[in-house]
Chain A
Amino acid sequence: MLEFTPDQQMIREEAQRFLREQSSSEAIRLIVDTGASHDAGLWASISRELGWCAMAVPEEFGGLGLGATEVAILMELTGARLACVPFWSTVCLAAPLLQSAGSEPAKAKYLGAIAAGEMAVTVAYADLSVADPAATVAVKALRTDGGYRLDGKVAQVIDLEAADIVLVPAALEDGATALFALARDAGQSVAPLEVLDRTRPVAALELAMEVSAESRIDEGCVSAGQFREALAFANLGLAAEQLGAAQGAHEVTLAYIAERVQFGRTIASFQAIKHRCAKLVVEIAEARSLIFGAAQGLGISDAAESALEIAGARVLASDLQFRAAEEAIQLHGGVGFTWEYDPHLYFKRAQANAALLGAREAQLDRIAASVFGDGGVK
């Protein structure tokens, strides 16, 4: 059967309480309106004091050695509050890649720093919009006497400004993929992009630089399987965030319609509106079940089966997040499309997330290829 352990339940309750206080609408707007890369105070609390980044890092590297379920719980809750912190990029995108493809010294150094809450890390995948972003590589790595020369441009890197380290997959001359870790002042160019979703910053990365041999951190090149393993975790975390953001948008909406009076009654009393809210609960239930079912099985069940469940979770979560956000706007009526009220923040995050790591069609194609057993239609 499927339920949280008492420890997981406790993590959930405490995180929920903390984020309600610390990632309020006012706090988010401070970031959104000033154009800051992230909420540095909140990030310090989350990473250093609360130890959330240590959850899934193995104990040998200073982490708590917990699993995907704990991370999904925290992703759900940061999503619900649109917390402006590089949590997903560090914990779901970068840490699993370090874990699956990093050399032992690199793991000790970077995973240790992540677990200690001392480091935000992101990954410069060439194209984050496809289900397999490691299939193409935008950066070339040429061996030099002292190390490597890196050249290339990555159009969009999430949380790049906030990251202390960016991991860069780069193609070697023989076509294999190596992984480099660059500190923020290593000589790369970072150009922040003006984006619709200001709760999660994106920047372009340009590399034309020499790096030392020590910057290369993979254990004899990164295989497609290692990328896949890391990306499964990123996708699962993203799905959980989408679930949370949907729940957050829904709660904002329920609070508003319970107060708004028209025709002498709250608009929450109209059946047309009740049914729309109830349908969202149906979709939330569906997405939550698949996300936490997949989280519980990740690393235990067959990896291919887990990947399919995560693909399905992304489909449901992407549909759900957009639906919840558009319903938030519609049910707020006139104020729903103003800057002052929160629905637009959820709406923009929904669209931005839907395009990440494979849109629903790509996820469904993966599932179909397996269900039909034909590897997909060419």
Chain B
Amino acid sequence: MSDLNAFRTEVRDWMASHLSGTFAELKYRGGSGEGDVLPELRKEWERELAAGRWTCPGWPQEHGGRGLSVAEQVAFQEEYSRAGGPGRIGHIGEGLMGPTLIAFGTEEQKKRFLPGIRSGTEFWAQGYSEPSAGSDFGNIKTRARLDPVTGDWVVSGQKVWTSLAHLSDWIFVVARCEEGSVGRNGLIFLLMPLAQPGVEIHPIKQIGGGAEFNSVFFDGARAKADDVLGQPGDGWKIAMALLGFERGISTLGQQMSFQQELDLIVEISKENGSDRSPAIRQRVAYAWTGLRAMRYLAMRVLSDDQSPETRREALTYKYQWSNWHRDLGRLAMDVLKMDANVVSDDPRRERLQQMFLFARADTIYGGTNEIQLNIIAEQGLGMPREPRGKL
């Protein structure tokens, strides 16, 4: 425990001395709804983190990480958020691509890709969703064809909701490599540079005005023969394993930023008199309660507890935080009253307005509410599976 406290102090001190000067502008930025703000400075911040060995701290030491325990990683995430650490542009490489490469990559692939992720010099995007493969992820239509001359894979199709593709160097793409295959079969997992002929990136302007997502169009773009992860046909297996690496360690950091949003709501309500409304007070207290419950749920999920209750209830985490956050957005606006509708340069108001708008996405991306409830019912309660249609 005291070691953990010492570790927290180390992180806190580092953040205090480094998230300053030119980086001070980044405090509390790049969160909900503003994933695309200040991109160049945030890339520099990634390199600052890397210089302090704070990128990829959960990776094994042999791959350049610190090999931190779960408790230490949680402490890092909490202290990072508490200090106002900005949204991480390197998150997809660090949290998703890196662990997947470590698990499935060849030695040569690890040597080529891991250092760029760790040093904050190469950024990754995730090519999963397609216009007709959202919740139904098995319905992927992007095609990969083998070029018999070079051994390269030639890719055509469209990916969508690709976070930060316009700021990234690489993209991992799940594509269909066997003609006529359907569902989970015949998929391949490709690592592709974004700066090449045959790749076009179009931003998607979001509800709050920002554009963190993109459509990525592939028309004869190439993945080198060496840049297949696993074997052709392993795409589904690797794609699912990648999602499993997001074990929720970052969620305690996320909760810290939820707490900051709740604190802001309380602060503003005291200034504008909303705190005298019994209904608002009850809603704030209810939000406090939900956040505390989420904290303990996350601690159960991260504890490796294999009891049937915890395994089942772990499936509810996404539903819980996303709906809690969506409700918080509405509460924030109700506390702001008429001001909620007026754009101003008050950073507190701007943050809550962006949160209010972007929280509508929380219950959609990463598995919609409806898909989450199917998963809980089917995997958690063993209820009958949804029948597949024929269209």
Contacts and interface: CB of A to CB of B under 8 A. Distances in A.
Contacts of B136: none
A136 interface: no
B70 A288 contact: no
Nearest to B286: A364
Contacts of B312: 281, 285
Given A281-B316, A364-B286, A290 B377 contact: no
B305 A293 contact: no
Contacts, number: 143
Contacts of A260: none
Given A274-B383, A282-B319, A361-B282, A293 B292 contact: yes
B293 A275 contact: no
B25 interface: no
Contacts of B237: none
B295 interface: yes
Contacts of B386: 271
B377 A278 contact: yes
A312 B282 CA distance: 11
A175 B309 CA distance: 49
Contact of B294 (A289, A308, A315): A289
Nearest to B369: A275
B347 interface: no
Interface residues of B, number: 50
A369 B377 CA distance: 38
B373 A278 contact: yes
B300 A2 contact: yes
Contacts of A269: 383-384
Contacts of B302: 1
Interface string A241-279: 000000000000010001000000110110100110111
B380 A290 contact: no
Contacts of A274: 373-374, 377-378, 381, 383-384
B346 to A, nearest CB: 21
A307 B266 CA distance: 20
Contacts of B377: 274-275, 277-278
Interface stretch (A327-335, A341-349, A370-378): A370-378
Contacts of A365: 281-282, 285
B381 A377 contact: no
A286 B290 contact: yes
A1 to B, nearest CB: 4
B381 A277 contact: yes
B307 interface: yes
Interface in A174-205: none
B297 A371 contact: no
Nearest to A2: B299
A173 interface: no
A275 B370 contact: yes
| Category for how many chain A residues contact B | 35 or more
A284 B374 CA distance: 17
Given A269-B384, A279-B373, A289-B297, A368 B316 contact: no
B299 A293 contact: yes
Contacts of B276: 377
Contacts of B305: 2-4
A292 interface: yes
A286 B319 CA distance: 11
B272 interface: no
A253 to B, nearest CB: 11
Contacts of A2: 296, 299-300, 303, 305
Interface in A95-150: none
B293 A286 contact: yes
A288 B288 CA distance: 16
Given A281-B376, A315-B286, A288 B313 contact: yes
A285 B313 contact: yes
A278 B368 CA distance: 14
Given A289-B293, A365-B282, A278 B300 contact: no
Interface in B271-291: 275-276, 278, 281-282, 284-286, 288-290
Interface string B121-158: 00000000000000000000000000000000000000
A222 interface: no
Contacts of A266: 384
A161 interface: no
B383 A312 contact: no
- Most chain-A Cβ atoms within 10 A of its Cβ — which of B71, B305, B373? B373
B111 interface: no
Contacts of B62: none
A282 B376 contact: yes
A351 B285 CA distance: 22
A316 interface: yes
Nearest to B319: A282
A249 to B, nearest CB: 14
Contacts of A282: 316, 319-320, 376
Given A278-B380, A285-B316, A289-B313, A1 B71 contact: yes
B270 interface: yes
A281 B303 contact: no
Nearest to B386: A271
B313 A377 contact: no
A217 interface: no
A315 B282 CA distance: 11
Q: Which 7 A-B pairs have the closest CB atoms?
A: A293-B296, A312-B289, A285-B313, A1-B303, A274-B377, A367-B285, A278-B376
Interface of A: 1-4, 9, 254, 258, 265-266, 268-269, 271, 274-275, 277-279, 281-282, 284-290, 292-293, 308-309, 312, 315-316, 361, 364-368, 371-372, 374, 377
Given A1-B300, A289-B296, 15 more contacts: A1-B303, A2-B296, A3-B300, A269-B383, A274-B383, A275-B377, A282-B316, A282-B320, A290-B293, A361-B282, A367-B289, A368-B281, A372-B284, A377-B278, A377-B281
30 contacts: A1-B299, A254-B381, A265-B384, A271-B374, A274-B377, A274-B378, A275-B374, A277-B383, A278-B372, A278-B381, A279-B373, A285-B317, A293-B293, A293-B296, A309-B292, A312-B293, A315-B286, A316-B293, A364-B285, A364-B286, A365-B281, A365-B285, A367-B288, A368-B285, A371-B284, A371-B288, A372-B266, A372-B270, A377-B276, A377-B278
